[in-house]
Amino acid sequence: MYIAGWFFIAVFVGVGCQLDSLGTSSFTVRTSLIDGFVSRQSVTEVETKLRQDNAKVVVVEDGKSNEQRSIFRSPLLVRVLNVVGFTYLGFEGDLRLEFIDGELASTWFFPSDVTHFEVEISKQWPMTISEQPVYLDAATELRVGVDYRGKKYWAWEDTNLQQKVERWIEQNT
């Protein structure tokens, strides 16, 4: 029993090391998002950059709660910012920035002129026309969707942070 326990631990650690060497389970890798933003940037770092650019920033969700925290589950802090009048590829729109536990996890661009933006972005990433997720590198997913208001968006997301949220939901719901 003692030997079997050590064997299990050795296999678990070995698999974990192998996955890390492939870069698939590394949770500290920074990955490119939209227009110079990089995942895992801090809220302060991103807000400072936006202020320097004189961006109109609105806090949509602040991640703070007045509710008493549960001792049975770990907290997951979500902060969402919206930048009005953001310009990407020459198109103006709203940029939504989502932070998970203080780290930039995804950027969502809602262009004002969807039709012309679609033409322009498909020149850079033709695969986005199919509206299937496109993997830009090992940890960045670009996907196209429509939100609850019926507005079309393009989202650049750190897949490792997506998985972190999904694991939190599975463990805490």
pLDDT tens track for 110-121: 999 999 999 999
Neighbours of 134 (CB within 10 A): 17
pLDDT in tens, 128-148: 777 778 888 879 999 999 999
pTM of the model: 0.77
Higher pLDDT, 19 or 82: 82
- At residue 56 the predicted structure's pLDDT band, cuts being 50, 70 and 90, is very high
Separation between Cα atoms, residue 95 and residue 86, nearest integer Å: 6
Question: What integer pLDDT is reported at residue 73 of this predicted model?
Answer: 61
pLDDT, tens digit, 9 for 90 and up, residues 76-90:
889 999 999 999 999
Given a cut of 60, whether residue 43 has pLDDT beyond it is yes
> What pLDDT score does 135 carry?
86
3-state secondary structure string across 125-137: CHHHHHCCCEEEE
Q: Is the pLDDT of residue 163 over 60?
A: yes
Euclidean distance between CA atoms 166 and 161, whole angstroms:
9
